[in-house]
Amino acid sequence: MKICDVCGLPEELCVCEEIAREVQTVKVYTVRRRFGKLMTIVEGIDEHDIDIKELTKELKAKCACGGTAKKGQIELQGDHKRKVKEVLSDMGFSSDTIEIRDSDKKFNKRRH
- Is the C-alpha dihedral spanning 14, 87, 70, 67 positive or negative? positive
- Please write down the HEC assignment for all residues of 54-81: HHHHHHHHHHCCCEEEECCEEEEECCCH
Query: 81 lies in a domain?
Result: yes
Closest CA to 39 of 92, 95, 77, 83: 77
- pLDDT of the residue at 28: 94
The torsion angle over the Cα atoms of residues 26, 32, 35 and 37, rounded to 10 degrees, is 50
- Asked if the model's pLDDT at residue 112 lies above 80, the reply is no
Overall number of domains in the chain: 1
Query: 112 lies in a domain?
Result: no
* Cα distance between residue 41 and residue 81, in whole Å: 8
- pLDDT of the residue at 72: 87
Query: 111 lies in a domain?
Result: no
Q: Residues 31-48: pLDDT tens digits?
A: 998 888 999 999 988 887
- pLDDT of the residue at 106: 46
**Three-state DSSP state, 53:** helix
Query: Which CATH number is 81's domain given?
Result: 3.30.780.10
- pLDDT of the residue at 103: 61
Q: Residues 1-60: pLDDT tens digits?
A: 788 777 777 877 777 777 777 777 889 999 998 888 999 999 988 887 788 999 999 999
- pLDDT of the residue at 81: 92
Query: 62 lies in a domain?
Result: yes
Query: 16 lies in a domain?
Result: no
Are the C-beta atoms of residues 68 and 75 closer than 8 Å to each other? yes
Domain that holds residue 85: 27-100
Query: 90 lies in a domain?
Result: yes
